[in-house]
Chain A
Amino acid sequence: MQEALNALKAKLNEENYIADDALAATLFIAMKLNRPLLIEGAAGVGKTEVAKAAARAFGRELVRLQCYEGLDESKALYEWNYQKQLLAIQMGQGREAGMSDLFGEAYLLERPLLKSIRAEKPVVLLVDEIDKADAEFEAFLLELLSEMQVTIPEYGTVKARSLPFIVLTSNHTRPLSEALRRRCAYLYIDYPDVRREIEILRAKLPGLDEALAAQVARAAAYLRQSEKVTKKPSVAESLDWAEALMALGAQELDEDSAAQTLGFALKNNDDIREILADDEFIRTIL
């Protein structure tokens, strides 16, 4: 068993995703049980990246559905090709073949959800930022999540040809329904500790000096726990910061290089001012 988990970690590692034991075990079991995986955590901790890395690691196609307010089934599941239907009617095809054929396979436009369950080979379906979608859309997803099928009123029920591995991500801007949570395995991704963040920085930025990576990771950890910082830097932002330092040719993170590049980690002028005046921050990075 442990070998299978280690193999999964190694595969994710090859895709530059540094997974800890809990993440690997959760991902493994969600795939085995064919249960959707709901991932929550602060913005920028690598939630979306899990789906991308899993798709690459298992050689599956990634089908992504980005959620937003007002997203409905015509944009997520299917839409009828109205132009084609009108043409068919004008050409008399509709009358000959019967009106029901106007709602057939030929006039159906696949959107991400339908595409993912009608794919010949299993895909990874990423439903990104589900908390941004309306509660109605969340309810609409339940059939797909539990039965792996969708119902199109004019067409009938479409069962999955191949079972997609579904990953949902949420920043918890609104609470998700109990019904949706119950259908998913759950994973909370927190900010990485310093040791893991160094690994991530080194994996994503191969040319980064180890000492500089350690300094950036320590500084990011300090900024995340500091009461003075209102918008905590994410992993993506510490990567940007390290990349900016590399571009500047900085050998180490010192007071000057921090002042030049802190805007890559902190996105608020008050935060930057407060931190640059904080002696403890300077001591931490040095």
Chain B
Amino acid sequence: MMSLSGRYSNRCLHHGHSGGGCHECHHDCHDRQKPEDVLYDRMVRFINDLRAQGMPVGLRETGDMLTALELVGFEDRDTVRAVMRAILAGTKREQEVFDRLFGLYFVSREEFEKNRQAMAQAQAELEARRRELEETLSVNGKPIELREDLKDVYAKMPQSERDRLRDIADKFSGKMEHAPKLYEGFIRSVFMKSLLEQQMVLEDAAEGAMPLDSDADLMFRDISNFKDSEIPRAYQLIDQVTRRINGEIVARRKAAGRSAALDFRRTIRAGLSTGGALCRLKHKKRHSRRKRVVMLCDVSGSMLQFSEFAIRFIKSLSEVSDHSEIFLFSEQVQRVSPFALEDMSRFGSYARTSGVWGRGTNAGRALEAVMDVRPAVLTPHTVLIVLSDAKSVDLNRAETALSQAKRQAGGVVWMNPIPEAKWQYLRGVMRLKEHCDMVPCGTLDELARACAKLM
């Protein structure tokens, strides 16, 4: 049985908070929505979320879905899912997106009851910790002013982390009288750093908690979280996806070729076979120049796996580029011989023995080295693809080199494995993305979309 009440049920009408009490009202809200309103509200939110994920769900689809649901009823959750999916999702990728979101919005009744109890308990604990924050963490007798979301982060922190922050506040509060502003600023900055780090950890945990399975799981999961045993399957998925993208590109080229200008000479020659009647029009073929790609791959420690996935993608997309140059970099740069990566299964061992693997990242030096190569590899017909998390030393140098590279190359695309939501916390990302087209590539799905967009 599917529950009409799920993730967004039991909602406070004033502030939209779910759960037993609303902390903004400071009382138990009794003005709850009616079950049918909850259902429609959730359907609307669900469809909006599908649209936000790029699915073209129009009014017609919504109407048909509601008619279909009236027909099948809500007794069986799997049937409801199959019916909604058939109408709302039009491709395999859309089906995967649909399944991922459906699991979040519509839960089974048993699961809902379990979640509700857990949520009520968690809500009570969170409230207690928020009160604890206000009572215990104060500077000069005043509670530390924090944004509401950071208070929630504090409440969700492990006990050991909360104790550590409290110790720091206690330790330095004795020295406050010497330089109150200095120590207040110091304690505040320590707090902010810890809380922002914790926020990133919590976001990671939330992503990992999505109930996914099999291929969809691998396609949408953070690449850095892949287990070794899952890597071969990921390679197969990359093959499947690139085959599809190649097919799409060929079809697009073919369609584009047809609409080019008329080729009079060939049309008249073809007309000779029908007595001079120009029955078959011949069109000039549109000249399509494939791109030359230069890849600058960060192989500093954890970036190795991501770089390997990205290179596999780009190399397999034969329709995107017919020629590619690969450079590995960390603090040093090394040009990769074209024959060395014929067999991509050797990439890992090649990179590890290259002498550049596992060090820090100096993107500025690497970009300069690529620009200095003679004969020049960066030309107006080249696309420079940087595969890196942009956590580089000497950001000024990296910025300058990147803007120079952008002038030399036909385009610069920075594929970043860090999820876009976290970019705001990283100074290097925020500064470097001003000088190039930076695209999030944290998952295989994002990587595939970024590679397809290279066209």
Enumerate chain A interface residues (CB-CB to B < 8 A): 1-2, 5, 21-22, 25-26, 28-30, 32-33, 35, 37-38, 40, 135, 172-175, 178, 181-182, 184-188, 225, 227
Residues of A within 8 A of B117 (CB): none
Binds A, one of B7-15, B85-93, B131-139, B388-396: B85-93
Docked pose: A173 CA to B244 CA in angstroms: 7
Residue of B nearest to A27 (CB): B86
Q: What are 6 sample pairs from A and B whose C-beta atoms fall under 8 A apart?
A: A1-B73, A5-B79, A29-B71, A172-B244, A178-B56, A186-B85
Option from A1, A5, A227 in Cβ contact (under 8 Å) with B235: A227
Extra contacts besides A21-B79, A178-B90 (10): CB < 8 Å: A1-B79, A2-B76, A5-B72, A21-B82, A26-B82, A29-B72, A32-B71, A38-B90, A174-B248, A186-B89
Partner of A174, one of B60, B61, B78, B247: B247
- Residue interface mask B62-86, A partner, CB < 8 A = 1: 0010011001110110110111011
| A182 and B60 form a contact (CB under 8 A) | yes
For B92, give its contact among A25, A35, A178, A188 (CB under 8 Å).
Answer: A188
Shortest CB distance B446–A (Å):
19
B158 at the binding interface (Cβ < 8 Å): no
B270 to chain A, nearest CB (A): 16
The CA of A185 and the CA of B247, in the complex, are separated in Å by: 24
Residue of A nearest to B71 (CB): A32
With known contacts A32-B68, A178-B56, A186–B251 Cβ distance under 8 A: no
For the complex, what is the distance from the CA of A225 to the CA of B61, rounded to whole Å?
A: 35
Q: Mark B147-171, 1 if CB is under 8 A from A, else 0.
A: 0000000000000000000000000
Give the contacting residue for A182; candidates B56, B78, B244, B250; CB below 8 A.
Answer: B56
Q: Are the C-beta atoms of B75 and A35 separated by less than 8 Å?
A: no
- What B residues does A181 contact at CB under 8 A? 90-91
Set of chain A residues within 8 Å of B91, measured between Cβ atoms: 40, 181, 186
Q: How far is the CA of A182 from the CA of B251 in the complex (A)?
A: 20
In angstroms, how far is the closest chain B Cβ from the Cβ of A240?
Answer: 24
B residues less than 8 Å from A188 (CB atoms): 92, 95
In the assembled complex, how far is the CB of residue B303 from the closest CB belonging to chain A, in whole angstroms?
Answer: 24
**Could you count the A-B residue pairs with CB atoms below 8 Å apart for me: how many are there?**
88
CA distance A176 to B448 in the complex (A): 19
CB-defined contacts of B235 to chain A, threshold 8 Å: 227
Give the 3 A-B CB pairs with smallest separation, nearest first.
Answer: A174-B251, A181-B90, A25-B82
B58 at the A interface (CB under 8 A): yes
Q: Does A33 lie within 8 Å of B67, measured CB to CB? A: yes
Given A29-B68, A30-B86, A178-B56: A135 and B255 within 8 A (CB)?
yes
Q: How large is the interface on B (under 10, 10 to 19, 20 to 34, 35 or more residues)?
A: 35 or more
User: Is there an interface contact between A35 and B78, defined as CB atoms closer than 8 Å?
Assistant: no
Instruction: Tell me if B68 and A182 are in contact (CB < 8 A).
Output: no
B236: interface (CB < 8 Å): yes
Q: Are B68 and A33 in contact (CB under 8 A)?
A: yes
The distance in angstroms between the C-alpha atoms of A44 and B79, with both chains bound, is 25
Are B79 and A25 in touch, CB under 8 angstroms?
Answer: yes
Q: In this assembly, does B232 line the interface, its C-beta being within 8 Å of a C-beta of chain A?
A: yes
**Chain B contacts for A32, CB-based, 8 A:** 68, 71
- Which chain B residue lies CB-closest to A174? B251
Known: A1-B79, A22-B82, A227-B235. A186 touches B247 (CB 8 A): no
In the assembled complex, the Cα of A184 lies from the Cα of B76 at a distance in Å of 23
Q: B248–A175 contact, CB under 8 A?
A: yes
Q: How far is the CA of A37 from the CA of B87 in the complex (A)?
A: 10
Which of chain B's residues has its CB closest to A173's CB?
A: B247
In the bound complex, what is the Cα–Cα distance between A281 and B424 (angstroms)? 49
Chain A's closest residue to B215 (CB) is: A190
Partner of A186, one of B60, B72, B95, B250: B95
Closest approach, in angstroms, between the C-beta of B409 and any C-beta of chain A? 29
Q: How far is the CB of A61 from chain B (nearest CB, A)?
A: 25
Cβ-closest chain A residue relative to B92: A188
Q: Which A residues lie within 8 Å of B75 (CB)?
A: 1-2
Expressed in whole angstroms, the Cα–Cα distance for A227 and B239 within the complex equals: 10
A22 and B78 form a contact (CB under 8 A): yes
Bound-state CA distance A225–B237 (Å) is 11
Residues in A whose Cβ lies below 8 Å from that of B244: 172
Q: Give B190 Cβ to nearest chain A Cβ, in Å.
A: 49
Contact yes or no, A26 B247, CB < 8 A:
no
Of the listed residues A2, A173, A174, A225, the one surrounded by the most CB atoms of chain B closer than 10 A to its CB is A174
A134 to chain B, nearest CB (A): 9
Q: Could you tell me the distance between the alpha carbons of A172 and B248 in the complex, rounded to whole angstroms?
A: 9
**What's the minimum C-beta distance from A75 to chain B, rounded to whole angstroms?**
17
CB neighbours of B247 from chain A (8 A): 172-174
Chain A residues whose CB sits within 8 angstroms of the CB of B79 once the complex forms: 1-2, 5, 21, 25
Minimum Cβ distance to chain B for residue A63 (Å): 23
Residues in A whose Cβ lies below 8 Å from that of B73: 1
A218 to chain B: closest CB distance in Å?
18
Q: Identify which of residues 202-258 in chain B touch chain A, using a CB-to-CB cut-off of 8 Å.
A: 232-233, 235-236, 244, 247-248, 250-251, 255
Query: Given A29, A38, A40, A184, which contacts B83 in the complex, CB threshold below 8 Å?
Result: A29
Q: Which residue of A lies closest to B248 (CB)?
A: A175
Contact B89 A182 (CB under 8 A): no
CA–CA, A241 and B190, complex, Å = 67
Task: Determine the residue in chain A with the shortest Cβ distance to B80.
Answer: A25
CB distance from A28 to the nearest CB of B (A): 8
Contact of B86 among A21, A25, A182, A227 (CB under 8 A): A25
Expressed in whole angstroms, the Cα–Cα distance for A32 and B78 within the complex equals: 18
Q: What's the Cα separation between A178 and B90 when bound, in Å?
A: 8
Residues of A within 8 A of B71 (CB): 1, 29, 32
Is the Cβ of B86 less than 8 Å from the Cβ of A187?
yes
Chain A positions within 8 Å of B72 at CB level = 1, 5, 25, 28-29
Distance of B249 from chain A, by nearest CB (Å): 10
Chain A residues whose CB sits within 8 angstroms of the CB of B67 once the complex forms: 33
Q: Which B residue's beta carbon lies closest to that of A69?
A: B254
Give Cα A182 to B233, complex, Å.
32
A29 near B87 (CB under 8 angstroms)? Answer: yes
CB distance from A21 to the nearest CB of B (A): 6
Does the CB pair B83–A26 fall under 8 Å?
Answer: yes
Residues of B within 8 A of A26 (CB): 82-83, 85-86
Most buried by B among A22, A40, A178: A22
> With A and B bound together, what is the CA distance between A172 and B241 in angstroms?
12
Closest beta carbon of chain A to B77's beta carbon, Å:
11
Minimum CB–CB distance from A7 to chain B (whole Å) comes to 14
**CB neighbours of A29 from chain B (8 A):** 68, 71-72, 83, 86-87
